[in-house]
Every structure is written in C-alpha cells, then in structure tokens.
Amino acid sequence: MNRFSWQRAVIKVGSALIAPEGNECSGRYLLSLARFITASREAGKDVILVSSGSVAAGRSKVKVRHNASIAEKQAMAAIGQNLMMANWQRFFDFPCAQVLLTADDLRDRTRYVNIKNTLREILNHNALPIVNENDTVAVNELKVGDNDNLGAYTALVAQADTLIICSDIDGLFTADPRKDPTATLIPQVDKIDSTIYRLAGGAGTSVGTGGMRTKIEAAEKCTSSGIQTLIVNGRKGETFDALLEGKVPGTLFTASSSPASARRLWLTHTLKTAGQIEVDNGAKQALVAKGASLLPSGIINVTGHFEQGDAVEVMCEGVIIAKGLCLYNAKDLTFIKGKKSKDIASVLGYETSDVAIHRDDMVLY
C-alpha cells in the first residue's frame, strides 16, 4: 500500500453507506469510520464530513405512489436532514454541526468567505462539521449536483490537504470490477487525463447520484490545487484501520502542486463563467509575460450577457488563457473594446475602472 500523511481531511460519505437500503439511515457501515474520525481528532487532526443521505433518510416518511416530484424530494430532505444528523451524532461524544450549502453559496465570494470562516470556527470549538447540499431549497440551477464534487469544493473552501472519498468499491480499477474479473486496482494516479476518465463507469448503485466519473472530477479539482485525494472502500472496516496507520487501501491521486490561495481556488473552480472576452496577441503577452491587468484596448470581441462583477473567460485565437471578474457589463464592454483607458468616460459617460479585469481578480491558465 502507498503511504500518506495529512492534517486536515474532508471525508465524503455517500448514500450507499449511510442508507444502504435506500429508505432510512443505518449504522451498518459507519462505526469503523466513526472510530477513525474520533482517533484522528484525538491525534490533533481536523476532520470535516460531507454526508449524503438526507433524501434517502426521509424517503420512508414521505409516501408517494409515483416518481417523487421536486417538492416531494425536498420534503424528504427536510425530514431526512434531522434523521441523518441524529444518525451521525449517536457515534460521537462531541457535537456535530450541520452546514447546508447550495452552488450559489459557493459562487458568491462573500458567502464563500463566510463558509470558510464558519468551518474554521466549528473546528476551533471542537465540533465536527457535517456538510450537505441544501436539498430543501436547491433546484437544478442551484445544485452542485453530486456530493463527490461537493466534497471537492468543501476541501477547497476549508483549505484541507486531503479529500477522502468513501465508495462501495476499493478504488479506481483498470475496468469495472463488478463486470470484469480481470480488473486490477490502480494504487496511485499522478496525472488525471483522458485515459483516467475512460476508466470511469456509470453509477455503482441506485441510491447515490455519483459514479466513478464524479469521483475523478472531484480528484482533479483537488489535486490541481494541491490537495491529495483518496478513493477507498467505506464498507470495509479494515479500510479505516489502514488509514489510521497512514496507509492507502485504495487509490491515491497525488497532489500536482502546492496549495494555491483561497481566492485563486474560488476563481478557478467554483465561479460559474458568464461570458467570454477575446483579446489580441499584445494583450495576451501583457497578461502572460508581465502579469498585467486586461485593458479595453486589447479586447477584440465580447460574447455573452454578463453583468459587472461576473466571471468571464479570456481567449486568444480560440484558446482560453485566463478567467477573471469583469469590471464592466457586456454591453458597456462592447462599446469600449479597442479603446484607450482615457477614453472610457467619454464613451460611456462614466468610468468604473481604467481596466476591464484587474490582475488581482484574474487567474491565468
């Protein structure tokens, strides 16, 4: 087995482990994990849980004779969240703290910072943060969509060094081990590319929403930001015995860089892109070689209907070179593209800034 060390970990636990029958919470697979969490905390480490299971926990309490509607699933989640939290609390003699998030919470910079501060204070007060998507209010445009990627976002906002994804198989295999008896476990992945994605099959169970692909997506978000990621089998008690010994009884995705700043992580991974700005080669050189801000004079074309403060991609000759927060909306930026900064006020009748995107609000790819 590979070895690893860590100080702050986000542990993602799916519905298949929390509610294996699909309609109520169970402790069948959680006792060994709970012991691992307690022992890790006693060793001075920080643990944050990302827990599925609220909808599954509430399903038996909301009787439907057809495919559940969005409102019915939200009712299940509202009832099930208490049941899911109570199920976790019974394993610990320290408090559990519920943190409910939507994708909008993560995309908004102020709320993102508030989440980071809240998680820090929960840990400082010796409680266990348990993060879940706020399914009682989230509809499709507000949803992260799966708790593997929610685990990745939580690891980013919490500035963790490790994401541990507990699955119902041992890790990433050369083929689907449920269908191919010759499939072998891949103990370590140093680079996530198209070859790795091709190994991902569909969802493993009917209870959860995430298959191996979403786990690899989560690993890619984390490893590119300096956060090592593990996929392990949460149904086996010996998994957590090995983790306590610093061993990886599954697949380790190694971190490809040192941790980046929290603002850079937010810009890169969390913020939804609202439009695109095409720039000339001169602007590209200024951004890439000099670390300059983007001036209106270097802009060739504006695409999309974005507002001031929205995230946009910066492109040159069809290649995305940066992402940043635009200081003008799309309509006004169209008027001032190609213009000198000193001409902005005369063209628009006002001037918010002499740059289109400030270098402090930009991430270069």
212 is in an annotated binding site: yes
| Residue 180 is assigned to a ligand binding site | no
Q: Is 211 annotated as contributing to ligand binding?
A: yes
Q: Which of 168, 178, 285, 282 is nearest to 215 (CA)?
A: 168
Buried b / exposed e over 216-231, threshold 16 CB at 10 Å, is: bbbbbbbbbbbbbbbb
With beta carbons less than 8 A apart as the criterion, state whether 187 and 249 touch: no
What's the Cα-to-Cα distance from 326 to each of 5, 252, 261, 272, 312, rounded to whole Å? Answer: 40, 37, 20, 13, 7
Residue 168 labeled ligand binder:
yes
84 is an annotated ligand-binding site residue = no
Is position 167 annotated in a ligand binding site?
A: yes
209 labelled binding-site residue: yes
Tally the C-alpha atoms within 13 A of residue 178's C-alpha that lie toward its C-beta: 10
Q: Is 149 annotated as a binding residue?
A: no
d(CA 165, CA 147): 10
**What token pair was written down for 138?**
């989230």
* 135 has binding-site annotation: yes
The response to whether 182 counts as a known ligand-binding position is no
Q: How far is the C-alpha of 99 from the C-alpha of 111, rounded, in Å?
A: 13
215 marked ligand binding residue: yes
Annotation: binding site for ATP = 12, 167-168, 209-215
Residue positions forming the annotated binding site: 12, 52, 135, 147, 167-168, 209-215
Binding residues for substrate: 52, 135, 147
